[in-house]
């Protein structure tokens, strides 16, 4: 066979192959079954191709996993702000704020804004928290960073969310998540603490859009433990401003939070005491506090402390008295 005939034969084979491929491949969304059959045939040729993950991708649902492009910019950066060289639009609407979970239940102890005492900008809000309190992801997203800064955030987590926000959680005592992990709103990501540059246990919480530290009180209504609206319009001129932030409402919530926390602590303590050998006696005829104390190998002072009574308080038959 001469060169001309060989070239013609190769061209015919290539044309037939291209035509065959064009007739075989279809858009996945319109011909999923045909795509599955094609992938199954290819799998017979090479075991290195995994069919199931590919079919799962063709049947991809946004409800299960966010699109990957929001994780590309600065994903491998070790900085909180990884958008320093990226163009940021003047305004943009951030959606899906209704799909949220409060990062913790605490009230605002230090708002967003300029701190004259330290001569710097406070780029988040500090929320009341006790060491060991659970910290939750505010929205669905993927953990971009878990890191420790001795003179800064302490142990902190950065989560990039499906609505293009990033949230920062600082001064924690422990991580409950890992970089790259996909979390839902309300997933525990850490425990509150007092690490880094901190003057007491709390959660430092930031909300950022492409590096711009938005005032969290523009998005969250901390006094009512919710978001202000279902969307937020980011604007380079107004992103530092709070929305309907009321110090009075925050103070009122602080009182409720403190009262609930105190009651919960008291209930837990009582439950713990009951489970560690607590004892209650029913007063008999002729009993006195001293007789109860002697019978139970304790003192009148301890009985009084357990029951909130005085040494000269009268007790009557049938009355319940804690003796341990």
Q: How far is CA 222 from CA 95, 113, 191, 218, in A?
A: 19, 16, 19, 10
Q: What pLDDT does 263 receive?
A: 81
- Where does residue 204 fall: left (phi above 0), alpha (psi -120 to 50 degrees), or beta otherwise? beta
Q: What pLDDT does 63 receive?
A: 37
Confidence band, pLDDT 50/70/90 cuts, at residue 317: confident
State which of 26-40, 103-117, 258-272 shows the largest mean pLDDT: 103-117
Q: What's the token pair of residue 86?
A: 């990226």
Q: Taking residues 254-276, what's their average pLDDT?
A: 73
Q: What pLDDT does 312 receive?
A: 83
Report the percentage of the chain scoring pLDDT > 90. 47
More confident residue, 72 or 109: 109
Residue 219, Cβ neighbours under 10 Å: how many? 22
**Statement: residue 34 has pLDDT above 60:** no
DSSP state of 284: P
Segment 120-158, tens digit of pLDDT: 889 999 999 999 999 999 999 999 999 999 988 999 999
Q: What pLDDT does 276 receive?
A: 55
Q: Collapsing DSSP states into helix, strand and coil, what is residue 253?
A: helix
Confidence band, pLDDT 50/70/90 cuts, at residue 11: low
More confident residue, 165 or 48: 165
Q: What pLDDT does 223 receive?
A: 95
Q: How far apart are CA 266 and CA 110, in angstroms?
A: 27
DSSP state of 213: E
Q: What pLDDT does 130 receive?
A: 94
Segment 232-252, tens digit of pLDDT: 999 999 999 999 889 999 999
Segment 281-311, tens digit of pLDDT: 888 888 888 888 888 888 988 888 888 788 8
More confident residue, 49 or 265: 265
Contact in structure between 319 and 282 (CB atoms under 8 Å): yes
Q: What pLDDT does 250 receive?
A: 94
**Statement: residue 258 has pLDDT above 70:** yes
Q: How far apart are CA 163 and CA 302, in angstroms?
A: 58
Q: What pLDDT does 296 receive?
A: 87
Contact in structure between 183 and 140 (CB atoms under 8 Å): yes
Q: What's the token pair of residue 225?
A: 């433990």
Contact in structure between 174 and 126 (CB atoms under 8 Å): no
State which of 37-41, 54-58, 115-119 shows the largest mean pLDDT: 115-119
Residue 273 φ/ψ, nearest 5 degrees: -65, -40
**Statement: residue 28 has pLDDT above 50:** no
- Name 59's Cβ contacts closer than 8 Å, sequence gap at least 6: 32
Q: How far apart are CA 276 and CA 284, in angstroms?
A: 25
Q: How far apart are CA 65 and CA 286, in angstroms?
A: 72
Segment 43-88, tens digit of pLDDT: 333 333 344 443 343 333 333 344 445 556 777 778 888 887 788 9
Q: How far is CA 261 from CA 12, 106, 255, 256, 277, in A?
A: 81, 10, 10, 8, 25
Confidence band, pLDDT 50/70/90 cuts, at residue 16: low
Q: Taking residues 183-197, what's their average pLDDT?
A: 95
Strands (E), the chain: 91-94, 108-110, 113-115, 120-122, 125-128, 134-136, 141-149, 154-161, 165-175, 182-183, 188-192, 202-209, 212-214, 220-221, 226-227, 232-235, 280-282, 320-322
More confident residue, 28 or 316: 316
Q: What pLDDT does 71 receive?
A: 55
Q: What is the mean pLDDT of the chain?
A: 79
Q: What pLDDT does 105 receive?
A: 95
**Statement: residue 103 has pLDDT above 60:** yes
150 alpha carbon, distance to own chain's centre: 22
């Amino acid at each position: 066979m001469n060169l001309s005939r060989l070239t013609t034969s190769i061209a015919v084979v290539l044309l037939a192959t291209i035509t065959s491929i064009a007739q075989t491949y279809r858009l996945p969304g319109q011909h999923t079954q045909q795509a599955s059959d094609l992938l199954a045939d290819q799998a017979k040729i090479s075991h290195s191709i995994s069919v199931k993950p590919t079919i799962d991708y063709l049947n991809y649902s946004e409800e299960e996993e966010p699109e990957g492009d929001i994780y590309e910019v600065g994903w491998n950066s070790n900085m909180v702000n990884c958008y320093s060289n990226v163009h940021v639009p003047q305004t943009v609407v951030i959606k899906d704020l209704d799909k949220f979970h409060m990062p913790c239940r605490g009230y605002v102890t230090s708002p967003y804004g300029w701190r004259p005492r330290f001569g710097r900008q406070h780029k988040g809000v500090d929320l009341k928290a006790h060491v060991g309190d659970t910290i939750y992801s505010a929205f669905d997203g993927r953990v971009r960073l878990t890191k420790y800064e001795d003179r800064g955030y302490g142990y902190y987590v950065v989560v990039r969310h499906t609505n293009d926000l990033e949230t920062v959680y600082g001064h924690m005592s422990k991580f409950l998540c890992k970089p790259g992990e996909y979390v839902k709103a309300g997933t525990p990501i850490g425990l509150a603490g007092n690490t880094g540059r901190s003057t007491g246990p709390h959660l430092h919480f930031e909300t950022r859009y492409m590096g711009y530290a938005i005032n969290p009180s523009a998005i969250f209504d901390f006094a009512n433990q919710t978001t202000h609206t279902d969307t937020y319009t980011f604007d380079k001129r107004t992103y530092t401003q709070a929305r309907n932030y009321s110090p009075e409402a925050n103070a009122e919530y602080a009182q409720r939070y403190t009262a609930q926390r105190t009651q919960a602590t008291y209930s837990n303590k009582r439950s713990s005491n009951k489970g560690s050998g607590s004892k209650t006696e029913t007063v008999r005829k002729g009993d006195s506090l001293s007789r109860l104390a002697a019978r139970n190998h304790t003192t009148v002072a301890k009985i009084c402390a357990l029951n909130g009574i005085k040494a000269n308080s009268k007790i009557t038959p049938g009355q319940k008295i804690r003796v341990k």
